[in-house]
A = this chain, B = another copy of it.
Amino acid sequence: MPRITPERREAKRAHIMAAARRCFSRDGFHQTSMPDIAAEAGVSAGAPYRYFASKEEIILAIAADAFRLIFDPVEQLAAAADAPSVADLVAAALAALSVETVADSAGRPVPVDELLRCAVQTWSEVLRDDAVRSRALEGFESVRRSIADALCRGQTAGVVPLAMEPERGARMVMGLLHGLLLQRAAFDLTEMTGFDEDIRILLEGTERPGASSR
């Protein structure tokens, strides 16, 4: 099979995706043309079509990546934590918004602010593209279930009020995360320290002595 070696192919695909992500982050999905992406990647206009069937498919890949890279840490923390309080969950989620870069599946560093900007744009696509919508809903429900499970464990351990309905509680945690994600991407939220303390103050009525702010 005298094509290219699989690793080379994978690397080039990732190279084109990274170029697309930069373009999308800068100009938006629909203000970025395929020639723009090709130029950013330093290849000819037809080259991306060797790796993606259409622009739609690039958007889908970028959107899936953005959600996964942002929410995987949150989901893993929710699944791993023993009996987290609501404040623990929120603080862990916000920590995921505060880092500079995350690693993709092959260990390549990806700037978080690019992911956030792509995620915000993906929300618009969710409203009208069924492929994006079903993937996004699937990811959302997965994270929400993890958080709801964690809240149930917290209720058993007595650190989460029994009267609170875990499904709604998980929706609120997701909402706060989405909302601060939006502020970070679009509404000039630059300073992330202090939120975990304030959340603890609001939810537990007390400041925690051994604070964990970075």
Residues of A in contact with B (beta carbons under 8 Å apart): 26-31, 86, 117, 120-121, 123-124, 126-128, 133, 136-137, 140, 161, 163-165, 168-169, 171-172, 174-180, 182-183, 185-189, 194-195, 198-199, 201-203, 205, 207
Contacts and interface: CB of A to CB of B under 8 A. Distances in A.
Contacts of A124: 28-29, 120-121, 123-124
Given A165-B194, A176-B176, A202-B203, A120 B127 contact: yes
Contacts of A199: 172
A28 B202 contact: no
Contact of A205 (B169, B185, B205): B205
Nearest to A30: B30
A171 B189 contact: yes
Contact of A198 (B140, B172, B180): B172
A26 B138 CA distance: 22
B172 A176 contact: yes
Contact of A175 (B30, B128, B133, B179): B179
A214 to B, nearest CB: 15
Contacts of A30: 30
B186 A171 contact: no
Given A169-B198, A171-B189, A187-B137, A182 B128 contact: no
A124 B140 CA distance: 19
